[in-house]
Amino acid sequence: MLKLYNTMSRRKEIFKPLEDKKVKMFTCGPSIYQRPHMGNYRTFLFEDILQRYLEYLGYEVERALNFTDVEDKAIAEAKVEGTALKALTDRVAKQFLEDAELLRMKPPTYNPRSSTTVDQAVHLIKILLEKGYAYRHGGDVFYDPLKFKGFGKLYGLDMSRWPKEKRRFRKDTYNGMRWNLGDFILWHGYKEGDEVYWKTEIGKGRSAWNVQDAAMATKHLGFKIDVYCGGIDNLYRHHDYTIAVVEAVSGEEFAHYWLHGEHLVVEGKKMSKSKGNIVYLGELLKKGYSPEYIRFYLIYRHYRKKLNLTERRLQEASKKLDNFREMVKEFACTESSSSESTPAAVSLIHSLTYRFEEKMNDDLDVKGAFDVLFKTVSKLSSLREELKLSHDDCHRIVNELRKVDKVFRVIFPD
């Protein structure tokens, strides 16, 4: 059975969805004021693998991947560029969708934007105001975490550190992986000169980032879902804010399984503008790496372990994938005089998907799954004559690998 590491419980748990053979899954998408980098795509690809593997196991997956298109940074970037906010975010969204297609990511069921779910954000804020979790301060609306029992439970926040004096944090996001110990903003009330705002039941203004994911998730998937995914940096503030918003409204557990992917570093260092080491997909493509090479490199390490991007390691991974594909191609083209399968051949062929599932069921161990496939295919290749592989055997090997590649999406061309 599939076991996933649940950040909430800090252990691997057997996966049991709310509804038999159906999964509701929310995956934190990009903030589309600047183009995503390779670290972002590593997170999106682990989520893609999860969806594909759930479907491989027979689940029907209903997934939302959101675009954050209205926030402080996006508004500031549009001003710097001297362009309209929508023009900026539409351009970045288009680039993301093109990159996602190149990297063979499965399109989500829903792709909502912050700007298209303001109505749901207002709906949530109204309920939070009525219940006393939120309050007005001038034209803004803030959430008081001390009103929500269990605040910070996903991160494991030590609430004894909470200050006694009232603090309010007005920005959508703050730099660094830190906690803002105070009230967080839900609604930016209109201020003279604001160009981005909506006229709503709670006044003129715009929803804050802290309520946007909750609005997008609940509008499209409801108030109870199975899986919520994102990068490890979302453990600081963001996901606990979402939990506090949704569960304060519904009074029930929002998501049971919380999965977080680790960072991608470059030459052992964290990517940052100040270091000048941010890597984008286009740069790797220009160097001659195919989208399949890049996808393989980004998934060929456990999603909960840091991945170090270096030229040498990318070349090694590309060569490994090439070697595997060459062996698979031999089976696809094999002509054999043997007409009957041997027990040894049948056993090895059967082990292809069995061992693949064994590794993938252990918290999506993609590297382990690929390595056992490589080892088994290598053995089948080297012992082809000794095993007396029939034409049907070779055909079966390729078919089994095609099933597996519905998850990996790197072995066979489209």
In sign, the C-alpha dihedral spanning 84, 85, 88, 91 is: negative
pLDDT of residue 247: 98
Give, in order, the Cα–Cα distances in Å from 223 to each of 85, 162, 212, 229, 241: 30, 28, 14, 16, 15
In sign, the C-alpha dihedral spanning 73, 155, 63, 307 is: positive
Strands of the 60-65 sheet, one edge to the other: 60-65, 22-27, 225-231, 255-261
- The tokens describing 123, both together, are 């709906």
The structural domains of the chain, ordered by start, are 3-261 (3.40.50.620), 270-408 (1.10.730.10)
pLDDT of residue 414: 76
Sequential pLDDT tens for the chain (414 residues): 999 999 999 999 999 999 999 999 999 999 999 999 999 999 999 999 999 999 999 999 999 999 999 999 999 999 999 999 999 999 999 999 999 999 999 999 999 999 999 999 999 999 999 999 999 999 999 999 999 999 999 999 999 999 999 999 999 999 888 899 999 999 999 999 999 999 999 999 999 999 999 999 999 999 999 999 999 999 999 999 999 999 999 999 999 999 999 999 999 999 887 788 999 999 999 999 999 999 999 999 999 999 999 999 999 999 999 999 999 998 876 665 556 667 888 888 899 999 999 999 999 999 999 999 999 999 998 887 787 788 888 889 999 999 999 999 999 987
pLDDT of residue 342: 77
Give, in order, the Cα–Cα distances in Å from 101 to each of 47, 278, 323: 15, 21, 25
What residue has token string 């060569």?
Answer: 319
With vertex at residue 403, the alpha carbon angle to CA 401 and CA 407, rounded to the nearest 5 degrees, is 100
pLDDT of residue 343: 82
Q: 160-177, pLDDT tens digit by residue?
A: 999 999 999 999 999 888
